[in-house]
Structure formats: structure tokens, C-alpha cells
Amino acid sequence: MQQDTPLAGIRVVEHAAGVAGAWAGRLLAAMGAEVIMVEPPTLCPLRKEAPLFANGESALFEYVAAGKRSVVCDLETAVGRDVLAALLDTAQILIDDTPLQQRPQWGLDREGVAARHPDLVHLSVLPFGASGPKAGWTASEINLIHAGGEGYLLPNGLSAHLFPDRPPLKIAGHFAELQGGVAAALSALSALWFGTGQFVDASVQDANVAVGAFALQRYGDGSIEHRHTRSFRYGGVIECRDGYVELLTLEERQWQGLVHLMDDPEWARDEELNDPVTRSERGDAINAAIRAWAREHDVEELVARAQKLGVPMARYNTPEQILTGGHETARGTFQDVDVPGVGEVKIQAAPFRFSEAPLALSAAAPAPGADQDLVTSGAAAASRAGAAARTATA
Amino acid sequence: MTPRSGKPLSGIRIADFTVHAAGPFCTHMLSQLGAECIKIESAQRLDIFRKPHAVYGRAGPATFDQVASNKLSVRLNLKHPEGVALARRLVAASDVAAESFRAGVMERLGLGYADLCQVKPDIVMTSVSSSGQTGPDSHFAGYAPLFGAWGGLGHLTGYEDGPPVEMRHVMDHSVGMNAALATVAALHRRRRTGEGSHVDIAAREVASSLAGDALTAASAGVRMHRMGNADPQRAPHGLYASRQHDRWLSIAVSSDDEWAALTGIIGKPELASDPRYANAAARVAARDEVDAVVANWAAFVEADEAAEMLQEAGIAAHVSWRAEDIARDPHLAERGAVVSVSETDGGHRMAVGFPARFSGTDAPGLDRGTPGLGEHEEYVYGEILGLGRADRARLVEDRVIY
């Protein structure tokens, strides 16, 4: 383990079946915490979650479990619960996403954990949290992106323009659940910083309401957002001859740069367009002109010239373009990880770093029970000692 | 350990140079967690999120209040040498310095990481930028939709037969949330080693981290593409129009038991044993038929009632919520996820609270509304830095505090 990683020396026990809880653990692992997944005999369901590699193994699991350890433990049995308790005796953080009604049976209820492990940060990660009238509700990613408010506002821009009658759209992958994971990890580390063992109740919905904060603020201001109207008045997703770019000019100088980028067309010389409010009002006409112009150009050419002119424009990168991108390569954004049965894959350790060097994942995702010796040797002894101590004090 | 009071990060002080959305959201989260956050602004160059941008189609700056709430505000002219000196004193009295300028700007101001380490050797400096502090694109300016485009989230989001989709403020705020997490991690490292660090958060890397499962698959040759609301392993899965205008019901069925329960609710119990839909793989293969069956039922239901009914049967369902639903929801209010903020003028407005509850600390949240520009100079310059009234008046006169 790297000793200078931010979370070196912190042990986390993760009991997670969903992406949010697993991502909380994964971020802590990337920052140097030792994260031990406790899997049921049926194994973590994320091991089967799409997208899948050609051999049928889960790429999602490889991504969210890289750098973790695995212990298989049957919480239906007293022995299994003792093993978990022994592990928790050695940990600072427990991450658990077990549905509330199931927790007591598995020894994961708030009161029981607090009684046995008073110094532990017990991080609960649930779709709607562990308290409140909807604490018992279940949800998949698509429900959560809509429970947080952003789903209703998607798509906007070009997609909404082209397909106004289609249902709202989710963001690709597990955006909402990953927000829940980040917020949960932040909460656990903050509780640990405070230094008191406690129950931390994280909610994926809360996290999405938080990152969607501006919709609520605008509602308070009397401005109702809708996917059909939440488009930039001009710019946005622009189709070029060979792909798409994103264009957004917020500042006056950026608009001027855009006009130069388009080789100062006749229509843009209208002096009234120097007023941003007039531009906004005539956004449809401006956008029609931009779209017609862009279709005559290639992405690479436009993006390169836009950069020189200070016009914020970006290529809509495909996964392949990101994985082999010059910037990403220079920064070491992706780490080569050898995955048994798949070969070498590229995994991003984390979206932040603590020096010029990127964080490094310590290993590929673990095979089931790869670290069983953690509970069959030392921890098992600790388990027996811990159980004896608890019996003695009971 | 002896119980003590305070919010989780009480006692931490942040010198906050961030502007726009992503950086301020980072310090906004830390502020809600109890850190004392001093927002450094100048009348000469206001945070551009204090002012309106017509391209959004609105007259006012509707995006500032949420992230500025709870923060202390001081004016400081960083174009003035004495302003830079004062900024360093502020950093010397802080645990964290946060900024979100383009890479290189803080160095040019004399406030780079090396400069800050001279006045505060264990400072945690958090830099939020579009493309990171290093690499050939590190000078790129960007906004949320560009982060999403660079990072792949935009390409992968959209209808299967449509264009990519631009990410909006949720993208900025995801960056801020990750930055807040990394900042607290860096504080843990400081506590253990006595060393500070320069935390580098690249917004485009936050976007790619949110598409990390797809990128991991793509790196092994799996072709990833836009797929609308479809799920490769679940059907029914999508948004279904209810009988109410623009009121959509999201439903995701994962297991055979859930499917069986759903067939009962929609009045087609015979489909539970229909071999065409016997398992998830079969339902995914017959996705269009399965979706049509659910859509035909949904078209006659009241969305909120249907969601409750589905939840009672253990099926993942939720109405596609508008801001109005969030504002009125008793669940979110009870959790403190949505709160009311009191402004200095006595008014109240709704805001988003911290997304978790803590049993062992005071609750995170918002104690104050939006600060006026320079509202807290007496406390910050007077009490924290010990500048006398006459000194401060002189600095105001010289447009250092400006």
C-alpha cells in the first residue's frame, strides 16, 4: 500500500449490492483505504451487471471493485455474523446498503452495530435514505435520476428539438447512483474527521437533489424549468460534417470569437447582435445559421480554431477517443489493469489526484473470497475474542 | 471519546477563491458540513455567477444564491500587490485554499501552491479546473456541457437514433461534490502526516469517471453506444406516460418476482407464466412488446398513485419529478435535504441542504443566506487577521479591499 495516499491506514468494510454503496467504497479504495467487500455466498450482484466484457464478466464490477478485497461471508448464520463483527472490530468505516427491513436479521441494524462497535462510522447508503416516509422505497438508476429532478429536464437542446414528443431521458450509465456514492463517501470521511463513532444516513435521492440544486432555486424564483425550454438560446450540441461538438459562449469576447470562427458572416454584422439580450431573443435564427455553417466543417478543424479564438467548444468524444486521448495519456488518467480472462483493460482510478501523479489502484477487482484469510486467521481469532468480550460485558 | 458539539467539519477554515458553479459547490458542501468558508471576491471582477447571462434565456442571475449561502464574503483586489499579500495572510490563517481559475492563473497572481506553502506549509490547496493542472489541454476553458462532451458522458447519453446530449449544472455540481470529497481526504492525510497537498480536480475526468463502466468496457473492445432509456438487462425499463399531461412514471423491473407482481398490478396476470417473458433475458429480447403492455396500462393511471402501488409490491418506480414535487415533498423536508433559508432582508427561500444525516454531530445545513459583497470584512479582516479600523479604511481607500 502506498503510505502517502490520503487514506492509508483506514480500513473500510463494504457490504454493498448496489452501485452507490460500491462507488463510495471504491473512491475510498482509490485514495488508499483498505476496502474489504463482504459478499454473500451468492456473491455481489454487481458481478453480473452490464456492461459486460466479451467473456461475460462485468466491466461495471471491474470498474467499481478495482483495488478492493473480497471476503465471502454468510450473514444468515451466526458464524457469518461473528466474522463480520470481527472485521468491524478492526475497521473505521462500515458501508452498507442492505434494505432497512433486512438489517436486523443480518446484524446490520443501526442500534446493534452501534452497541457492538461504538467507534465505527456506520455509513448507510440507500436510494431514499434510512429515515423519512420513503425510507423503505426501492429504486433503480432510472428511478433515481427522476426522483432527483434532473431526469425530467432531459434531454434538452438538440435532442429535445429533434424529438419533442419522446419521454424524458436518463443520463447514460449510473450517473445518479454514482452521485449518491460520492456524497456518501464525503459524508463518511467527514464523520470520521469529527472523530465520533456514529450512524451516517446517506440518500441517493438527496445527493441528486443536491447536484440538481438550481432547479429548486429557480422554482423559488418563479422560473419553471422544462426540457423543451432549458436549451441554450444558441450553441449547444452542434452537428458537424463528421461528428458533434458542444458550443457555449457565455462571455461577450467568446461570442466575438465565434463570429470570427464563422469567418464574420454577413448576418453577424448586424449591430443589434452586439446586445446579448437581442442575441438571446434571436437565438433560433442564430442557431440555424450556426448549424448550417457547422455542417460544412470537420470537428477537428473547428475545435482547433475555436481554441485559438477563445471560443469554448469541445468534441463529443467517443470512449475510444478518450481512452487514447493525448491529454488523458499525458495525465495518466487511465491505469492499465490486467483482468484475468479479459486481458489488459484501462480503468480510471479517480477523478482527482493529490499531486501531479494520478492515484493508483492497487489491484484488479478481487475474485470472490480472494482475501478469505483475513477472516480465517487473525480476524477469526479477534472474532472469538470480541465475541467473548461482548458476552462478558453483556 | 467524549461527545462534543459542532458540525462534522467545525473548526476548519477555507479561503475560497472559487467562481462559477463547480468550485463554489465544493466549498458550499464543506460549508454545510461546518467549515468556515470565506468567499473572496472583488467589485472589480464579480463572480460571473452573480450576474445574468442571457444565453440561458433568463434576465437574472438565478444560480448564485444556493452555492453562496452560508459563506462569509470579503472584497479583495488580487490585481493589487497588497491584495495578494492580504490573500496570503488569509491563507496562512486557513486550513484549505480553494480555487477554480484556469490552470496557471493562481501562480501568475503569486498565489500558486508553492507560494501558499511558504505562508502555510501544510495548506490543502484544492484546484478545480476543466482539464486539470497538467497535460496539454490544461489551459482549456470550459463549462459543464463541455466537460460532459470531453469526458464521454455526452456521447453516451441520448436516444439511440439521436445526437449526444449536453450535461448541465448537475455536471458542475458533480465536480464540486468530488472536489469536496478529495479535500476532506487531504485533511485526513494532513492529520496523519502533517503534510498538506495540492488537490487537482479535472472536471472532464469527473465526467469520464461517471462513464467509467462504459470506458472500462470499451477499453476491452466492447462497443458502447447511446441507448436512450433502455437497459441491457432489464425490461420493462423506462419512462411511461400516465394519464396526466407530461407526468411520467419510471419503472425498472429486475427480477422474475417483480415481473410477476407487475403483471398482477397491470391486470395481465396471465403474462407472469407466459414463456415469452419468462426471464429477464426473454423480456429484454421482447422489450418492445413488454414496453407496450406497460404503456397501455400506464396511460390510464394517476402517476403518483401508481408509483406507490408499485413500490408496495416491491417494484422500483418513481414519478419523473419536477422542481415543484421536490419543493413540496415531506420526505425530503424531513431529511433536511430541502430547507428554507432566511435572507438578511428577512425573506425566505427554498434551498438544497446537505445530502446525508449524522447521528453524532450537529446537523449540517445552511445557517445564513447569500452574503452581500464584503459583508463580513470586519470579522475576517478585523478579528481573524487583526487589522485595525484605520488600516482597513486605508486598504479600502487604496482599492485593495475593493
Q: Write the pLDDT tens digit of every residue in B40-74.
A: 998 877 776 766 656 655 555 556 788 888 999 99
- Give the DSSP per-residue string, A151-168: GGG-S-THHHHH-TTSPP
Identify residue B183 by its one-letter amino acid code: T
Give me the helix-helix angle, B256-265 and B303-312, nearest 10°: 130
A82 and A185 housed in the same domain = yes
Q: From the CB of residue A48, how many other CB atoms can be counted at a distance below 10 Å?
A: 14
A208 and A242 housed in the same domain = no
B291 and B200 housed in the same domain = no
pLDDT at A392: 45
Contact (CB<8Å) A223/B58: yes
* Cβ atoms A146, A209 nearer than 8 A: no
Q: What is the DSSP letter of A172?
A: S
A127 and A256 housed in the same domain = no
pLDDT at A393: 43
Q: Taking chain A, what is the end-to-end CA distance rounded to the nearest angstrom?
A: 38
- Domain boundary pick from B255, B289, B320: B320
CATH of residue A310's domain is 3.30.1540.10
Q: Mean pLDDT score of chain B, rounded to an integer? A: 94
* A348 Cα to chain B: minimum distance (Å): 7
A312 and A348 housed in the same domain = no
Share of chain A above pLDDT 90, in %: 87
A19 and A154 housed in the same domain = yes
A19 and A98 housed in the same domain = yes
A333 and A265 housed in the same domain = no
pLDDT category at A230 given cuts 50, 70, 90 is confident
Residue of A nearest to B134 (CA): A331
B280 and B199 housed in the same domain = no
* Side-by-side strand order, sheet with B96-99: A352-353, B197-202, B124-129, B96-99, B13-16, B36-41, B72-75
pLDDT at A1: 41
Structural domain includes residue B205: yes
- Domain boundary pick from A295, A317, A339: A317
Taking only residues 224 to 243 of chain B, the set having a beta carbon closer than 8 angstroms to any beta carbon of chain A reads 224, 226-229, 231-234, 237-241
User: Is the pLDDT higher at B339 or at B62?
Assistant: B339
Sign of CA dihedral B31, B37, B43, B45: negative
Task: In whole angstroms, give the CA distance from residue A363 to residue A354.
Answer: 20
> Pairing between strand A121-126 and A198-203?
parallel
Write the residue in A63, A195, A233 that is nearest to B1 by C-beta.
A195
A50 burial class (0-12, 13-18, 19+ CB within 10 angstroms)? Answer: middle
B193 and B296 housed in the same domain = no
HEC per residue, A4-58: CCCCCCCEEEEECCCHHHHHHHHHHHHCCCEEEEEECCCCCHHHHCCCECCCCCE
* Cβ atoms A17, A40 nearer than 8 A: no
Flag the least confident range among A11-20, A230-239, B22-31, B253-262: A230-239
* A377 Cα to chain B: minimum distance (Å): 29
Q: What is the DSSP letter of B129?
A: E
A179 and A310 housed in the same domain = no
Span A131-160, average pLDDT = 97
| B326 in A contact zone (CB under 8 Å) | yes
Taking only residues 6 to 45 of chain A, the set having a beta carbon closer than 8 angstroms to any beta carbon of chain B reads 6-10, 27, 31
The DSSP element (H or E) to which B212 belongs, if any, is: helix B212-219
Give A89's Cβ-side CA count (13 Å radius): 22
| B123 in A contact zone (CB under 8 Å) | no
Task: In whole angstroms, give the CA distance from residue B277 to residue B236.
Answer: 10
| B62 in A contact zone (CB under 8 Å) | yes
Residue of B nearest to A5 (CA): B189
Residue A65: closest CA among A355, A371, A330, A353? A371
Write the residue in B152, B165, B241 that is nearest to A169 by C-beta.
B165
B126 and B269 housed in the same domain = no
A293 and A334 housed in the same domain = no
pLDDT category at B141 given cuts 50, 70, 90 is confident
Task: In whole angstroms, give the CA distance from residue B262 to residue B267.
Answer: 8
B90 and B177 housed in the same domain = yes
- Domain boundary pick from A317, A347, A366: A317
Span B211-226, average pLDDT = 98
For B308, the domain range is 237-320
CATH of residue A118's domain is 3.40.50.10540
pLDDT of A224 strictly over 90:
no
Flag the least confident range among A341-355, B222-236, B262-276, B358-372: B358-372
Model ipTM? 0.96
CATH of residue B295's domain is 3.30.1540.10
Residue B93 grid coordinates: 490563517
pLDDT category at B348 given cuts 50, 70, 90 is confident
pLDDT of A33 strictly over 90:
yes
pLDDT of B1 strictly over 50:
no
pLDDT of A391 strictly over 80:
no
Structural domain includes residue B261: yes
pLDDT at B52: 62
Taking only residues 366 to 395 of chain B, the set having a beta carbon closer than 8 angstroms to any beta carbon of chain A reads none
Q: Mind listing the pLDDT tens digit for each residue in B3-31?
A: 568 999 999 999 999 998 999 999 999 99
A124 and A251 housed in the same domain = no
pLDDT at A166: 95
Total tally of structural domains belonging to chain A: 2
Q: Where are the alpha helices (DSSP H) in B98-211?
A: 105-108, 113-119, 144-151, 153-156, 169-193, 203-210
- Domain boundary pick from B270, B297, B320: B320
| A107 in B contact zone (CB under 8 Å) | no
Structural domain includes residue B7: no
Name A374's Cβ contacts closer than 8 Å, sequence gap at least 6: A36, A69, A71, A87
Task: In whole angstroms, give the CA distance from residue A171 to residue B211.
Answer: 10
Q: How far is CA A207 from CA A31, A154, A176, B238, in A?
A: 21, 18, 8, 22
B183 and B81 housed in the same domain = yes
pLDDT category at B344 given cuts 50, 70, 90 is confident
* B57 Cα to chain A: minimum distance (Å): 6
pLDDT of A161 strictly over 80:
yes
A243 and A292 housed in the same domain = yes
Total tally of structural domains belonging to chain B: 2
Structural domain includes residue B280: yes
* Cβ atoms A53, B217 nearer than 8 A: yes
* Cβ atoms B215, B155 nearer than 8 A: no
Span A222-241, average pLDDT = 90
Task: In whole angstroms, give the CA distance from residue B27 to residue B31.
Answer: 6
Residue of B nearest to A281 (CA): B57
pLDDT at B2: 45
Span B116-130, average pLDDT = 98
- Domain boundary pick from B320, B351, B369: B320
Contact (CB<8Å) B177/A207: yes
pLDDT of A322 strictly over 70:
yes
Q: Which residue has the cell 424529438?
A: A163
> Pairing between strand A343-348 and A352-353?
unpaired
Contact (CB<8Å) B322/A152: yes
A341 and A300 housed in the same domain = no
B193 and B342 housed in the same domain = yes
Residue B158 grid coordinates: 441520448
Residue A285 grid coordinates: 435564427
Interface test with A, best of B123, B125, B146, B219 (most A CBs within 10 A): B219
CATH of residue B58's domain is 3.40.50.10540
For A31, the domain range is 11-215+328-386
Write the residue in B65, B219, B237 that is nearest to A345 by C-beta.
B219
